[in-house]
Amino acid sequence: MKKFIHIDMDCFYAAVEMRDNPALANVPLAIGGNSRRGVLSTANYLAREYGVRSAMSNYRAKQLCPDLVIVPGRMQVYKQASSQIRAVFKRYTDLIEPLSLDEAYLDVTDSNACQGSATLMAEQIRADIFAATGLTASAGIAPIKFIAKIASDENKPNGQFVVLPEQVDDFLAQLPLGKIPGVGKVTLEKLNLKGLYTGADVRAKGVNWMQQHVGNFGVSLYQKCAGLHIGKVSTERTRKSLSVEHTYEYNKTSLQACLDQLPILLAELQRRLTKQQLEQRINKLSVKVKFANFVVTSADQTCHRLDETILVELLSKAYQRGLQQPVRLLGVGVGVKNEPQQHVQLSILD
């Protein structure tokens, strides 16, 4: 029987800021740019009570919470804290799959720590993280990987939730499909239209019906709801893309105004590609445009190097779809191919 722990730091960026500046500890706080068009990366729990959320514009957040304090992010400080957290993980297992700076899966099946109890390990890991960083974490513990992730959200902040092996079947039967990783808002709406709301609904339809009416994703969803998709911790993360984007304080009202921003975006993308040594692995160029009405479109083309001429063409194509709508955000990116020595066959469940 596998033992997975999912660790998720509590409002990580905001928590670091509150730790380092006690004056921020009891105010609604968010991390983001200072411009009116800036977008929040996270908010503390006090701000969330007002409806403030990550990916929300500063302007909207201030409408919901006029007293909201917005501070710029300090990525180097967050990375330092993240390194301390990873060091804690390594005391318990080498099987660690980081999802971001503040979130990771741990496979502790063969760990001898805490007499082999995953529940006790999660408690100790959270205590160790607090001792090392002064930050709190929440945890989910389960014999199935994705259930551990769902469980880590059950007792936030600074708590944990355990799904024992004998509880898995009932947990999955009652599970709202929207909580399953990979089931987004649009997918959930489509599933609901087919009468699918919980794991029990999916199981009742059967795998053949799910494949016929939902496709390959339906097979994967059935396997998860039936408790057949155990999952595994992947210790190597393969980057598939790299992009940069910018939200403008004032809308760009013409194609030329958008094109004028391309060299700036391209320079930042080039810098990041060079830093991560990905220039020789480019296999696609892409452009993203978000219009003033929040409609998003993108255009891409196969290419094996940064080519400004192609990006100009892609941006022009994407801009035309807006029918003269002003533009609030522009992004450029690349697709990245695997290293030649990497040959990984993924199953439908991966």
For helices 75-89 and 118-133, give the axis angle rounded to 10 degrees: 140
Same domain? 262 vs 151: no
Catalytic residue among 17, 49, 97, 103: 103
Rounded to an integer, the average pLDDT of 261-272 is 86
Nearest by Cα to 242 from 188, 284, 214: 284
Is there a domain that residue 63 lies in? yes
Q: What percent of the chain has pLDDT over 70?
A: 94
Instruction: Walk across the sheet containing 29-32 and list its strands.
Output: 40-43, 29-32, 69-71
Nearest by Cα to 179 from 158, 202, 157: 202
The predicted pLDDT at position 36 comes to 61
Same domain? 198 vs 90: no
Considering all CA atoms of the chain, what is the largest pairwise distance in Å, rounded to the nearest integer? 65
CB-based contact 332:265 (threshold 8 Å): yes
Angle at 292 between CA 286 and CA 298, to 5 degrees: 15
CB-based contact 121:128 (threshold 8 Å): no
Instruction: Walk across the sheet containing 103-107 and list its strands.
Output: 96-100, 103-107, 4-9, 137-142, 160-162
Same domain? 188 vs 250: no
Same domain? 104 vs 197: no
Rounded to an integer, the average pLDDT of 245-266 is 89
Of 138, 163, 188, which residue is a domain's last?
A: 163
Same domain? 187 vs 130: no
Of 181, 196, 225, which residue is a domain's last?
A: 225
Q: N- to C-terminal Cα distance for the chain? A: 20
Same domain? 118 vs 190: no
Total tally of structural domains belonging to the chain: 3
Same domain? 139 vs 60: yes
Is the model more confident about 342 or about 89? Answer: 89
Chain mean position to CA 214: 24
The predicted pLDDT at position 297 comes to 92
Mean pLDDT, the chain, integer: 90
Is there a domain that residue 230 lies in? no
Nearest by Cα to 238 from 89, 344, 145, 148: 344
The predicted pLDDT at position 306 comes to 83
Is there a domain that residue 62 lies in? yes
Same domain? 157 vs 189: no
Is there a domain that residue 236 lies in? no
Is there a domain that residue 58 lies in? yes
Same domain? 152 vs 293: no
pLDDT band at 305 (very low <50, low <70, confident <90, very high): confident
Rounded to an integer, the average pLDDT of 131-139 is 97
The predicted pLDDT at position 237 comes to 66
- Which range of 24-38, 169-183, 332-346 scores highest in mean pLDDT? It is 169-183
Is there a domain that residue 213 lies in? yes
The predicted pLDDT at position 35 comes to 63
CB-based contact 242:334 (threshold 8 Å): yes
Give the domain extent around 206.
Answer: 169-225
Please state the pTM of the whole predicted model. 0.73
Same domain? 55 vs 103: yes
pLDDT at 341 over 80: no
103 is catalytic: yes
Is there a domain that residue 128 lies in? yes
pLDDT at 350 over 50: no
Q: What is the pLDDT of residues 184-236, one digit of tens each?
A: 888 899 999 999 999 999 999 999 999 999 998 999 999 999 999 999 998 87
Residue 215: give its domain's CATH number: 1.10.150.20
Residue 324: give its domain's CATH number: 3.30.1490.100
Is there a domain that residue 347 lies in? no
Same domain? 102 vs 217: no
Of 139, 163, 187, which residue is a domain's last?
A: 163
Rounded to an integer, the average pLDDT of 315-325 is 90
The predicted pLDDT at position 307 comes to 86
pLDDT at 240 over 90: no
Residue 103: give its domain's CATH number: 3.30.70.270
Same domain? 187 vs 259: no
pLDDT at 278 over 90: no
